[in-house]
Chain A
C-alpha cells in the first residue's frame, strides 16, 4: 500500500472538471519540472467565489488538489480563497491545516518536499486568478 496514493486521493483525482463558460477571472500555471498544468476559472459575486472550473493536466496529487479547490472554494470570500495557497504551503511544511474540507489526505505529502508543488499548483493558480480583485 502506498502511503501517498490512498483511495481518497485517487477518488478526488478522478473527478473531472471543465472550464467555466463566462469566468470573471482565469489563470494558467504550470510546473516546469514535471509538466503539471492547471488552467482555472472563477466567477464571483458580492466578494465571494461563486464557481470554480478548471482543466488540470498532471499527477494524481495535482488533480486531487484541484478537485478540493473546485469543491471547497465556492462560497469563500475572495481574500480567504486567495490566501489558501499560503495556508496549504504552511500545512505541507508541518503547520496547521486551513479550515477547508478535503485536505486531510494531503497531510501524507508533508515528508515529500518534491511533491509539495504538485499539491500547491491549483491553489497558486487560484491565487493568481484572484490577484486582480
Chain B
C-alpha cells in the first residue's frame, strides 16, 4: 500500500528525502494538483447566480466538492461549511457559539489543545465574560477524564482535540460527548490530526461541530471544513458578513440564507474545495485498515528505536493504543531546533518547537519544546530508519 501511494506523490520521488512533517502539512497527490489546475483551466468563475457556462461549471464543481466532503464524513452536504482552513473553522465555531454565551457560562477545553482551539475561546471569554476551564492531561499527554465535574450545568461548550498534534493521543470523544450532552453542552472537536488518517464519522462519535484542514488531509492550502449537525448549524448566527449569504435585505432587516451558505460570506475557496474533494475522494478509495496497520507498525518501529537512544524522552504515549502516528520526543542536552536542523541537513524533515501548544508544553514540563515526527500513509521503514540514524548523528554533532 505504502509504495503505491508513494508513487503518486510527486515530491516523494526525490532521492534521500524523508518527509516526516505531515502533521504540519501533508504532501499532496498529483491528482489533487491536477484537480485544482483543471478547475482553474476549465471552470474558473465565481459561484452562485452566474448564468454563463463557466459559472455553471464552477457551481457544479463546488456543489460536488461539498458532496464529497459530506460522503467522507458520512454526513449530509448541507452540514458541510467550507472555510479558509481549520483555524478559521474553529474560530467560526467559537465566535458563533460565543454569541450565546455570557457571564456565568463556562467553556471547557483541554490542556492538549492546539492554539487554534484555545485562543479563540480565551479571547472571546474576555469579550463576552464567560469562563474557560481546562481539562488536565496525564504524564503521557492523554486527556485525564477522571474528573469531568467541570462539565456541568454551567458548561455550555466542550471544545477538544480529536488527536493531539504533539503526542498523537486520540481523545475519547464518545465519552466527552456523553458528558457534554448530559450537561446540555455543545461538543466542538478539532479533527485536524485525525482526518489525515482515514474517514471520520463525527455524528457517530457524538460531535456537534467538527473541524479539519485541507492541507493536512493531502489537499490544498487555504481550505478547511466545519461540519455541524444540521440542528446545531441552524441555531448558530453567522459571524462574517458579505456576499452570497443573504436571503433578504431591506429596511426592515436582514434574513440570512440557511446553513451552510450563511457561514460562507464572500467568495469561498472554490478551486481549493475542488482539490480537497479530490483528496478526500482519493482517501475514500484506500484501504484504511491496512494503512492503519502499517502506520502503527512504523510507529512501533520509531518508538522502539527512540527507546534505544540514550537521553531520549518520548513525549506522549509509548504504546500504540488509541493514537495516530505522531511521535514527539526530546533529547537531553540537545535543543529541538538544533536537532531538527541537523536532521534537515540529512534529508529528514521533522519539526521542532512548541507546536502551537504552549499549554501542553507547560503541562508536560517542556520549556524548550520537542521534536515531532509525524507519519502519513506514504511513509515507509526507510523514513523511520533515516530519522533514527540521523538522530544518532545529530546528537554527535551537537554534543
Contacts from A to B (Cβ < 8 Å): 1-5, 10, 32-37, 57-61, 112, 115, 118
Contact = CB atoms under 8 A, between A and B. Distances in A.
B367 A32 contact: no
B345 A59 contact: no
- Tell me the interface secondary structure of chain B in the complex: helix
* Leading 8 A-B pairs by shortest Cβ distance: A59-B335, A59-B337, A34-B353, A35-B369, A35-B368, A2-B397, A59-B338, A34-B337
Contacts of B368: 34-36, 57-59
Interface of B: 335-338, 341-342, 345, 352-354, 358, 361, 367-369, 397-398
B338 A60 contact: yes
B87 to A, nearest CB: 16
A3 B345 contact: yes
30 contacts: A1-B397, A2-B341, A2-B342, A2-B345, A2-B397, A4-B341, A5-B338, A5-B341, A5-B342, A32-B354, A33-B353, A34-B336, A34-B354, A35-B354, A35-B361, A35-B367, A35-B368, A35-B369, A36-B368, A37-B367, A57-B368, A58-B335, A59-B335, A59-B336, A60-B398, A61-B337, A112-B341, A115-B337, A115-B341, A118-B337
A125 B338 CA distance: 21
Which among A5, A37, A59 has the greatest number of chain B C-beta atoms within 10 A?
A59
A128 to B, nearest CB: 21
A60 B336 CA distance: 10
Interface hub of B338, B352, B353 (most chain A Cβ within 10 A): B338
A1 B393 CA distance: 10
A57 B342 contact: no
B323 to A, nearest CB: 24
A58 B338 CA distance: 9
Contacts of A36: 337, 368
A33 B397 contact: no
B251 to A, nearest CB: 48
Nearest to A4: B341
Contacts of B361: 35
A118 B367 CA distance: 16
Nearest to B344: A112
Contacts of B369: 34-35
A36 B336 CA distance: 11
Contacts of B358: 32
A36 B294 CA distance: 36
Contacts of A60: 335, 338, 398
B398 A5 contact: yes
Contacts of B354: 32-35
Nearest to A112: B341
A71 B121 CA distance: 45
A43 B398 CA distance: 33
B235 to A, nearest CB: 36
B353 A35 contact: yes
Contacts of B338: 5, 59-61
Contacts of A34: 336-337, 352-354, 368-369
A2 B353 CA distance: 20
Contacts of A2: 341-342, 345, 397
B223 to A, nearest CB: 24
Given A1-B397, A3-B345, A58-B337, 6 more contacts: A5-B338, A33-B354, A35-B353, A35-B367, A37-B367, A61-B337
Nearest to A60: B338
